[in-house]
Amino acid sequence: MSTSAERPQDAPELKLVFDEPKQKVKPPKHFADLAPEDRKARAVELGIPAFRANQMAVHFFTHYNDDPETWSDIPKDLRETLVKEFVPQLITLVRTVTTDGGKTRKDLWRLHDGVLVESVLMRYTDRTTVCISSQAGCGMNCPFCATGQGGLTRNLTAGEITAQVVAAARICATGEMPGGETRLSNVVFMGMGEPLANYNAVIRAVRNITAPQPDGLGISARSVTVSTVGLVNGIEKLREEGIPVTLAVSLHTPDDELRDTLVPINNRFNVKEVLAAADAYAEKTGRRYSIEYAMIRDINDQAWRSDLLGRLLKNRNAHVNLIPLNPTPGSKWTASRPQDEAEFVRILENYGVPVTVRDTRGREIDGACGQLAAAEITSEA
């Protein structure tokens, strides 16, 4: 394995997008952008008694109701201010596509400036998971990921991220999905975007998701997964937040040589550094982390790579999640052969590394990994 010292001196310096990219029109401010105590202060600023902030939180986070016009315990003359200043509609449903007999649904949302993002809701026998977007587009440029191809359009606000989860919780609670009413149990940041490149908004959203009702949705932190390309400084900050969300690291190969291409940010934070940050995260939170590994035929699925990965992970508190590559339009890459995948799994298991193969829910609706909104943008272009 090469180390940072062996990296070519002329490796391009990657531009990190940690700050808010330029936005033409700022998204409307929403009370889900604020911590509970700041919601009260903002209410007072708007001439609304502080206790009303709590009423609003009950509507939004306990009843999943985002339409102040229907909040009958709030005086009518206040509702207009709420709609404009406090609980504006942040996401508007454009289209829903379903598959698996309705147990997987992809929702396409339009934001205030016309930008499109998607979320995918998946109902299983024992849980219901929503996969949400943290950015419109992505700046990380991984060549196998459809989102990466268009670059970053903009960061989503905490309100825009939270709104996707509230919408999913509402769909579950109203029994819109086959199987009747259920509870949204899991949230994964595996839609569009690199969550740790939009750190502050993502953390506010995570707090909204995990805080007990009515301050938040009351979903347990261990049921929330933040998936990252491996922004080491972001992982280190997350470790200090005291919210034990599950960390997923998109490794995709154990060697720096190939990872420099598959996950270009590796030129900045290499395999060794990323795993060290994930180990420290696991140590602090007591949570096992996931290693995401897209299986790409003849690119990263060789037995020797599995062997290297097994040696790298055998004494770590990690488990491997293999994802059959979901080919992006126009790419020459495709998913691994079944026999190569089976051999890859076998080798890892020999090292005692826990490994699962991700199901490929949502493929037929371009809802699988890295495909979100890309098909829509292409078809609208």
Return residues touching ligand SAH (CB under 6 A).
Answer: 140, 142, 144-145, 190, 194, 227-229, 250, 292, 294, 323, 325-326, 328, 369-370
Give the active site residue among 138, 142, 172, 369. Answer: 369
Instruction: Give the Cα separation of 255 and 250 in Å (integer).
Output: 13
Q: Classify residue 206 by its DSSP letter.
A: H
Residue with smallest beta-carbon separation from ligand SAH:
370
Give min distance, CB of 311 to ligand SAH, in A.
22
The minimum distance between CB 83 and ligand SAH, in angstroms, equals 33
CB nearer ligand SAH, residue 57 or residue 300: 300
Catalytic (active site) residue 380: no
Smallest distance, Å, CB 246 to ligand SAH?
A: 12
If the CB atoms of residues 235 and 323 are measured against ligand SAH, the closer one turns out to be: 323
Q: Which one, of 229, 222, 301, lies nearest residue 266 by Cα?
A: 229
C-alpha distances in Å from residue 283, one per residue of 195, 230, 242, 245, 289: 21, 17, 12, 13, 10
Tallying the residues shown for the chain, one arrives at 381
> Dihedral of the CA atoms 232, 235, 239, 243 (nearest 10)?
180
Return the amino acid letter for 132.
I
> Considering beta carbons, is residue 53 or 299 the nearer one to ligand SAH?
299
Are 353 and 128 contacting, i.e. CB atoms less than 8 angstroms apart? no
Given 85, 118, 194, 292, the catalytic residue: 118
H helix runs in 121-212, sequence order: 146-149, 158-173, 199-210
| Whether 273 is catalytic | no
In one-letter notation, the amino acid at residue 268 is R
Q: How far is the CB of 25 from ligand SAH (least distance, A)?
A: 26
Q: What minimum distance in Å lies between the beta carbon of 294 and ligand SAH?
A: 4
Two tokens at 22? 């330029």
Q: Which is closer to ligand SAH, CB of 182 or CB of 261? A: 261
Query: Which of 30, 361 has the CB closer to ligand SAH?
Result: 361
Helices and strands in the chain: count of H runs, count of E runs: 12, 12
User: What is the three-class DSSP state of 120?
Assistant: strand
Task: Tell me whether residue 56 or residue 224 sits nearer to ligand SAH (CB atom).
Answer: 224
Is residue 141 within 8 Å of 194, Cβ to Cβ? no
Name the amino acid, one letter, at 197. A
**Least distance from C-beta 286 to ligand SAH, angstroms?**
22
- Answer yes or no: are the C-beta atoms of 148 and 370 closer than 8 Å: yes
Which of 270, 358, 353 is CA-nearest to residue 308?
353
Contacts for 47 with CB less than 8 Å, ≥ 6 apart:
81
| Smallest gap from residue 37 Cβ to ligand SAH (A) | 31
CA dist list (Å): 251 to 141, 165, 295: 14, 26, 11
Q: Which is nearer to ligand SAH, 90 or 294 (CB)?
A: 294
Q: Across the strands, what pairs with 123?
A: 128
Residues serving a catalytic function are 118, 369
